[in-house]
Structure 1
Amino acid sequence: MSEREPETTAPASASKSDSSEGRLYYYRIRFRQVGQEYTVSSPLADLERDALVIVKTDHGLEPAMIVARSAGDTGDGQTRGVSYAVGRRATREEEEKYARLPVLEQEAQDICLARIKSLKLPMHLVRVERYFNGSKIIFYFTADSRVDFRELVKNLVQEFRTRVEMRQIGVRHEAQMTGGLGACGRELCCTSFLKQFDSVSIKMAKTQDLPLNPAKISGVCNRLLCCLTYEYDSYRSMKKGMPRIGRSLRFEGAVYRVVRLLPLQGSLLTIGEDGEGRILTEEEWRAAQPLQKPRQKQKGKKNPRKPQKKRGRQEKGAGANEKKKK
């Protein structure tokens, strides 16, 4: 992945690529204007923002835009998070071809939408991705169930004379491809850097004491926010060992009931017997004496009776013996 291209393939603009031979530099790239970012390695040291470069991928060479420099060098001779390798800068012809690529993808999307409408297929087309060399076109769509799109693929192959792939995605991948801004005001995590979607549960929001309002803990995809997983483990470890809500503590001769945990400060919000609130620091609540709750008798339940032994078989057996004696 880190092999260098022969110097003859690089244009004249990349002549001052590296001051120290063999050293690699790291950048963040995007293959499209809206899409996921990747970390790449390159022998080129002077790549500026928005520069178009040629990246080696599994299906061939693809152009990508430089987003920013990346601190991919760990200093120990190893790299982390590198997905691709940059071979060289793009030529003038490649830049012009890359500029026409969105137009070709939009035309393919319009044609596919017309075919979907004519065939009355229950699917929603999200995005079209065309390989730079034109060897393949991928149509991303969402649907509530499986869709028989064999006739659609035949029509598209006849239209574009290339390989066609229909790929069904979920609502989270749809948000990743369309992009947008989250409630925090930043670009969507799934669009900028997330490479996989981890499972998110409502328990994560409860552990972080977040309001359980669906509008506040859901993203643009109407699913739970992916960022709920970022600090979940930290909150869980900070709350470990802290008294539970509702527990009573005796401190300095007074009894306090825990009403809220403050894990970031390591303290507790409590209410005293006089109704006054007080914050107990970590040193204070660790020195406090926990009180056990008195056991309450459950109403309406009586002590269960001991089961009586059944004597039906014995009586039956005794009666049979008497009959035999007679």
Structure 2
Amino acid sequence: MSRIVTIQFITAGKLYDFNAGDLDIAPGDKVIVETERGLGLGSVVSGPVDRKQGETPAGLATIRRKATPEDLVTLERNIGKEKEAYEFCLRRIMERGMQMKLVRVEYLFDGSKAVFFFTADGRVDFRDLVKDLAHTFHTRIEMRQIGVRDESKMVGGIGICGRELCCCSFLRDFQPVSVKMAKEQNLALNPNKISGQCGRLLCCLDYEYETYCCLRKNLPKCGKRVRTESTAGVVDKLNILTGDITLKTDDGKHVVVKQGEVLGEAAPVDTQPRAEPASATTARPSQKGRAQRPERTERPERPERTERKSAEAAAPQQEAPPAAPPVVQSAEEPRQSDGQPRKGRKKNRFRKHGHRKDQDGTPNGSTPPPAPGA
């Protein structure tokens, strides 16, 4: 049988389970535990809970002891060291012109390591800075880059609602938040109103998102035409929490009805059948301020055009003169200056195969023929 307690090291931080052993521990007590980074002082959140031997996680660390007054004095001393290290590191960053923002310095309980938390847009070369810090404070130095959400969690602040930030008061884990959550809750998509101190979307947009999705399923969508016992119109606005529906009637008025008063969808106005005229020859009603146009009559054919057509038909067609035969021009052969025709160059039969002749007339690379009488 094991007694398991849950401990946190900072407010709204991550929770860790430890084996309490035989110690008499209650929620709210300060305890000294062994962590991967060294000794740490944490607060008991819940427990102890008895678990069987098979249900206990493997490798669970054990609480060393309850915090003593001397341990609390050591904690206050470490807080003073953190402030001193923060000011020194901030001066060195400004002197070197480094593109980074120092957020917080945290000392381990036993003082064996100092962790410097910072934010930056990219990678930062802080090797010389670490040498200065280690030479000044004579302890191990760790530089840890964090995000903007973690920065708000460490620094803290007041939100637009007037309360303490959720991330530094009770929110332990960050959940993904999207613009779709703001649209589903009919919020104005103003970045100044839906963004938090970190510059990201408000974490509280996720709190009521599922509730809005469930309530919206029973309401008609905006733009649909619905009917009630007294009227019909197009859905203009919705109040999801109260169930109020604002309808825009055919005469342009806005009527607010409850969700239970909607009987169903109504037929669109354009699909209603229209009354056909009694006969096809019935004249259309004249509009105000306009006289009725007389019916258009057919125009007679012009006499000049008919006479011209008859004259063109009676005139005999003149035959076109025969085309002249094409003149064939013979290309003259190129001649030399003495008047004799120029002879073309003879093709070398060896050039086809990539050979060329030597000065004696034999192909390159072949044996010359023997001389006569040799």
- Shared fold (TM-score, shorter chain, > 0.5): yes
Matched, 1:104 2:110: no
- Between the aligned partners of 1:250 and 1:228, the Cα distance in structure 2 is 33
- Look up the match of 1:215: 192
- Between the aligned partners of 1:196 and 1:165, the Cα distance in structure 2 is 24
Instruction: Work out whether residues 35 and 179 of structure 1, in 8 Å CA contact, stay in contact via their aligned partners in 2.
Output: no
The 3 A distance-change label for structure 1 pair 233 and 64 is: same
Superposition pairs for residues 281-320 of structure 1, below 5 Å? Answer: 281=259, 283-285=260-262, 287-292=263-268
The 3 A distance-change label for structure 1 pair 45 and 225 is: farther
Larger radius of gyration: 2
Which residue, out of 36, 47, 71, partners 1:94? 71
- Look up the match of 2:220: 243
- Look up the match of 1:64: 42
Which residue, out of 37, 55, 60, partners 2:33? 55
Query: Partner of 1:129: helix, strand, or coil?
Result: strand
Q: Give 1 or 2: higher strand fraction.
A: 1
The 3 A distance-change label for structure 1 pair 258 and 130 is: same
Query: Partner of 1:155: helix, strand, or coil?
Result: helix
* Residue type of the alignment partner of 1:288: G
- Between the aligned partners of 1:129 and 1:23, the Cα distance in structure 2 is 30
Matched, 1:277 2:255: yes
State the aligned residue count. Answer: 264
Matched, 1:164 2:141: yes
Instruction: Work out whether residues 53 and 88 of structure 1, in 8 Å CA contact, stay in contact via their aligned partners in 2.
Output: yes
- The Cα offsets for residues 256-302 of structure 1, whole Å up to 9 and x where unpaired, read as 22122232234423233351422232x333x322445859xxxxxxx
Q: TM-score, normalised by structure 2?
A: 0.60
Superposition pairs for residues 142-221 of structure 1, below 5 Å? Answer: 142-221=119-198
* Residue type of the alignment partner of 2:30: L
* Residue type of the alignment partner of 1:108: A
- Between the aligned partners of 1:85 and 1:290, the Cα distance in structure 2 is 69
Instruction: Work out whether residues 215 and 240 of structure 2, in 8 Å CA contact, stay in contact via their aligned partners in 1.
Output: yes
- Between the aligned partners of 2:55 and 2:269, the Cα distance in structure 1 is 56
- Look up the match of 2:331: none
Query: Partner of 2:141: helix, strand, or coil?
Result: strand
Query: Partner of 1:137: helix, strand, or coil?
Result: strand
Tell me how far 1:85 sits from its aligned partner. 7.0
- Look up the match of 2:103: 126
Instruction: State the Cα RMSD in Å.
Output: 3.4
The 3 A distance-change label for structure 1 pair 25 and 111 is: closer
Deviates more, 1:262-271 or 1:230-239: 262-271
* Residue type of the alignment partner of 1:158: H
Query: Partner of 1:269: helix, strand, or coil?
Result: strand
- Between the aligned partners of 2:161 and 2:223, the Cα distance in structure 1 is 33
Matched, 1:252 2:229: yes
Q: Give 5+ residue unaligned stretches, structure 2.
A: 272-374
Query: Partner of 1:88: helix, strand, or coil?
Result: strand
Tell me how far 1:153 sits from its aligned partner. 1.7
- The Cα offsets for residues 102-125 of structure 1, whole Å up to 9 and x where unpaired, read as 101111112211221222211111
- Between the aligned partners of 1:147 and 1:290, the Cα distance in structure 2 is 64
Q: Give 1 or 2: higher helix fraction.
A: 1
Q: Give 5+ residue unaligned stretches, structure 1.
A: 1-20, 296-326
Instruction: Work out whether residues 247 and 291 of structure 1, in 8 Å CA contact, stay in contact via their aligned partners in 2.
Output: no
Matched-pair identity in %: 42
Matched, 1:261 2:259: no
Superposition pairs for residues 9-48 of structure 1, below 5 Å? Answer: 29-31=8-10, 36=13, 38=15, 42=20, 47=26
- Look up the match of 2:365: none
Instruction: Work out whether residues 260 and 270 of structure 1, in 8 Å CA contact, stay in contact via their aligned partners in 2.
Output: yes
Instruction: Work out whether residues 63 and 132 of structure 1, in 8 Å CA contact, stay in contact via their aligned partners in 2.
Output: yes
Q: TM-score, normalised by structure 1?
A: 0.68
Tell me how far 1:226 sits from its aligned partner. 0.8
The 3 A distance-change label for structure 1 pair 204 and 180 is: same
Query: Partner of 1:199: helix, strand, or coil?
Result: coil
* Residue type of the alignment partner of 2:193: K
